[in-house]
Amino acid sequence: MKGIRDPKLWPIAEKVEAGERLTFAEGLILYQTRDLTGLMRLANRVREKKHGHKTYFVHSIRVSQTNICYVGCTFCAFQRRFGEEGAWDWDVEEVVAWVRARYQPGLTEIHVTAGHHPKRPFQYYLDLVRALKASFPGVQVKAWTAAEIHHFSKIARLPYKEVLQALKEAGLDAMPGGGAEIFAERVRKEIARAKVSAAGWLLIHRIAHELGIPTNATMLYGHIETLEERLDHMDRLRQLQDETGGFMSFIPLAFQPDGNLLAKKLGKREFTTGLDDLRNLAVARLYLDNIPHIKGYWATLTPELAQVSLDWGVTDIDGTLIEERIVHMAGSPTPEGLSKAALARIILAAGRIPVERDALYREVRVWDRVEA
């Protein structure tokens, strides 16, 4: 392939052309090469082979029924204790009213993630899915991370499979990819000690896929993890995807430093830089050959870098994100939402084709132009 200067990338380029799988050692070469434009070209080759110029986004609202949480992840600025200032805990009707007040025609996805509330019974979550589906017909509910499913299983004393089956019967359409953080035990012990284990997270996604619930997968990076630990994280996802095929997208989440213990403990405020973020996305595109989409999550990247990332393997920029709170409470300086037109304009200006999708990646509309 033209334009690749680092000789270590040449055999990798041949494998990419032949559609062959990269090894762990080759993944590390991608993380270490100084030939960033070569890396970009390789990732872009894969993105164009898979999806051409199409770039996806979704009209989505972010809902958190509570921020009360007993888990205490050190990277989290969202969690509150009972009675603490800024804590909320809504009944089903309050959640529905909150969404109704922000509802916009054409909304396709309600994305729900929240704290692990110690007292709400499992029935509350079933009622919430049913109420959202009944109140907003046609809208898909993508709700609760594997960490929350683990919590439901504990409070309901039910196996994962029964929890997921019941949620599916109540109307759950898909699951978000949060709670994965970094799978490596060394890191997990430090940042998410009381959360679902890596094995538990993977098992829950396996069962969800077996039940026909498509899911996403995230990776929280840019804190104390090594590059090997990032690749190990991707490797475990790639293995599971080989078996189930149920992941729709992979979303690297760049660590945001405000209001959390981890940044305080590390004693710094600057974490990933733009090129770290782009490199990480490109490695993900090349290593995760079996996951359809790599997301450039503009809420952590910024809309500007998300636009650039479309040349680095990214084929999805998430969506309108009405009232995103998790990364904004941790200091993300980005807007609290973007209009569909703004997203389409970003994609068009990068020379790509904006495709509005639903939560399951079915195409809703191709935006061939945006009114001024």
Cβ at position 10, least distance to ligand V47 in Å: 35
Q: Of residues 251, 278, 284, 294, which one binds ligand V47 by CB under 6 A?
A: 251
Nearer to ligand V47, 208 or 251 (CB): 251
Q: Contacts with ligand V47 in 16-75 (CB under 6 A)? A: 75
Nearer to ligand V47, 57 or 367 (CB): 57
* Tokens, residue 336: 């609290």
* Tokens, residue 33: 């090469």
* C-beta separation of 322 from 290 below 8 A: no
Nearer to ligand V47, 27 or 319 (CB): 319
Is 108 an interacting residue with respect to ligand V47 (CB under 6 A)?
no
Q: What is the maximal distance between C-alpha atoms in the chain?
A: 60
Using CB under 6 A, count the residues that bind ligand V47. 24
Nearer to ligand V47, 216 or 241 (CB): 216
Q: Of residues 108, 218, 272, 315, which one binds ligand V47 by CB under 6 A?
A: 218
Nearer to ligand V47, 96 or 251 (CB): 251
Is 216 an interacting residue with respect to ligand V47 (CB under 6 A)?
yes
Ranked by CB distance to ligand V47, the top (closest) residue is 178
- Label residues 42-68 b or e (16+ Cβ within 10 Å = b): bbbbbbeebbeebbbbbbbbbbbbbbb
Q: Of residues 64, 65, 66, 145, which one binds ligand V47 by CB under 6 A?
A: 145
Q: Of residues 38, 115, 178, 337, which one binds ligand V47 by CB under 6 A?
A: 178
Q: Of residues 16, 92, 107, 326, which one binds ligand V47 by CB under 6 A?
A: 326
Is 115 an interacting residue with respect to ligand V47 (CB under 6 A)?
no
Nearer to ligand V47, 103 or 271 (CB): 271
Q: What is the 3-state secondary structure (H, E, C) of the chain?
A: CCCCCCHHHHHHHHHHHHCCCCCHHHHHHHHHCCCHHHHHHHHHHHHHHHHCCEEEEECEEEECCECECCCCCCCCCCCECCCCCCCCECCHHHHHHHHHHHCCCCCCEEEECCCCCCCCCHHHHHHHHHHHHHHCCCCEEEECCHHHHHHHHHHHCCCHHHHHHHHHHHCCCEECCCCCCCCCHHHHHHHCCCCCCHHHHHHHHHHHHHCCCCEEEEEEECCCCCHHHHHHHHHHHHHHHHHHCCEEEEEEEECCCCCCHHHHHHCCCCCCCHHHHHHHHHHHHHHCCCCCEEECCHHHHCHHHHHHHHHCCCCEEEECCECCCHHHHCCCCCCCCCCHHHHHHHHHHCCCEEEEECCCCCEEEECCCCCC
* C-beta separation of 73 from 326 below 8 A: no
Q: Which stretch binds ligand V47 (CB under 6 A): 35-43, 227-235, 247-255, 361-369?
A: 247-255
Q: Which stretch binds ligand V47 (CB under 6 A): 25-33, 129-137, 248-256, 301-309?
A: 248-256
Is 319 an interacting residue with respect to ligand V47 (CB under 6 A)?
no
Q: Which stretch binds ligand V47 (CB under 6 A): 6-14, 49-57, 154-162, 214-222?
A: 214-222
Is 208 an interacting residue with respect to ligand V47 (CB under 6 A)?
no
The amino acid that residue 103 corresponds to is Y
Q: Of residues 220, 310, 317, 344, which one binds ligand V47 by CB under 6 A?
A: 220
Q: Contacts with ligand V47 in 296-315 (CB under 6 A)? A: 297, 300
Nearer to ligand V47, 170 or 326 (CB): 326
Q: Of residues 330, 338, 343, 350, which one binds ligand V47 by CB under 6 A?
A: 330
Q: Of residues 179, 214, 296, 354, which one binds ligand V47 by CB under 6 A?
A: 179
Is 113 an interacting residue with respect to ligand V47 (CB under 6 A)?
yes
Task: State the residue for tokens 């069962």.
Answer: 207
Nearer to ligand V47, 77 or 343 (CB): 77
How many CB atoms lie under 10 A from the CB of residue 351?
A: 10
Positions touching ligand V47 (CB under 6 A) are: 75-77, 113, 145, 176-179, 181, 216, 218, 220, 251, 253, 255-256, 260, 297, 300, 318, 326-327, 330
